[in-house]
Structure 1
Amino acid sequence: MPIVLTTDFGIEDPYVGVMKGVIYGINPEALVIDHTHYVEPQNITHGSMLLSTSYIHFPSRTIHVAVVDPGVGTERSALIIETPTAYLVGPDNGLFSGIVNEYLKESDRNTPSIIVPPECKAFRITNSEVFLTPTSDTFHGRDIFAPVGAHLSLGASPSELGEPVDS
């Protein structure tokens, strides 16, 4: 399964390369694809739009690791969302709402609470055994999301990496 990276990091700093290094350190055979690293900085809506219009063009079961995370270091959760065609790994901040909304009834699309469509499963990432340690308060892309994506690519199930989220 390919791992596709989408971030707002740009490529002038080492952050994308470090995330790739973490992935390859866990799964040396991983296929890592750069979707974009030019999401407008901290613009969740822009990231969601880019993901929702692009993810269907990747192979089935692709793992999308996305980091546009102005809430890093806060109490926001980290998620794995399993859709019928992809895994989505990243912050619980609306970044995946454009994709998840495709599976919702029209009347459920603009509700303020999380609704997990019947076709999807969501997991709050809680298995700290797969995190890099020490885990930084400011780089969850490296310390949480990249390792989780790599473990999924090795065949770990989302339930091994987190707890189910109810709608």
Structure 2
Amino acid sequence: MIVTLLTDFGTVDYFVGAMRGALLHVNPAAQVVDITHEIPPHDIEAGAFTLLAAFETFPSGTIHVAVVDPGVGSLRRPIIASGGGHVFV
């Protein structure tokens, strides 16, 4: 299983590593691919543009996890959608 990550976390702290660790804890065989973690903070449009530009380069069945959210860490639940053989979280 391939899982892509796209976030506005940046790379100067532990958040990306913790996210990758959580994924590998659930599925140690997962192939985790970082699209980028340098989306400008809370810039949902930039995140959407980047994901749109990148997702078709991955095979059908890929799970794309995008976290670009001013309310990250809140009680808000994730949105899951699928299309063209891809799953988007």
Q: Same fold (TM over 0.5)?
A: yes
SS at match of 2:4: strand
TM-score with structure 2 setting the length = 0.92
What is the CA distance between 1:77 and its match in structure 2?
3.6
Aligned position for 1:61: 61
3-state SS of paired residue (1:69) = coil
Q: Percent identity?
A: 44
Distance 1:67 1:18 in 2: 13
Unaligned runs of 5+ in 2: none
Within-5 A mapping of 1:101-140: none
Q: TM-score, normalised by structure 1?
A: 0.50
User: When you count helix as a share of all residues, which structure comes out higher?
Assistant: 1
The letter of the residue matching 1:4 is: T
Distance 2:48 2:31 in 1: 23
Distance 1:24 1:68 in 2: 21
Residue in 2 aligned with 1:41?
A: 41
Partner of 2:32: 32
Q: Give unpaired runs (5+ residues) of structure 1.
A: 90-167
> For residues 14-55 of structure 1, what are the alpha-carbon distances to aligned partners after superposition, in whole Å with 9 as ceiling and x for unaligned?
000000111111111110000000011110000000001111
Please name the residue that 1:85 is paired with: 85
**Does the residue aligned with 1:22 lie in a helix, a strand or coil?**
helix
Kindly provide the amino acid, as one letter, of the partner of residue 25 in structure 1. Answer: H
**Counterpart-to-counterpart distance in 1, 2:27 and 2:37:** 22
Counterparts of 2:85 and 2:54, CA distance in 1: 13
What is residue 8 of structure 2 aligned with on the other side?
8
Separation (CA, whole Å) in 2 of partners of 1:85 and 1:39 = 25
**SS in structure 1 at match of 2:34:** strand
In 1, distance between residues paired with 2:70 and 2:52? 20
Which residue identity lines up with residue 30 of structure 1 in the other structure?
A
Max radius of gyration: which structure? 1
Secondary structure of residue in 1 paired with 2:29:
coil
Say which structure is richer in strand. Answer: 2
Runs of 4+ in 1 over 6 A off after TM superposition: none
Corresponding residue pairs, total: 88
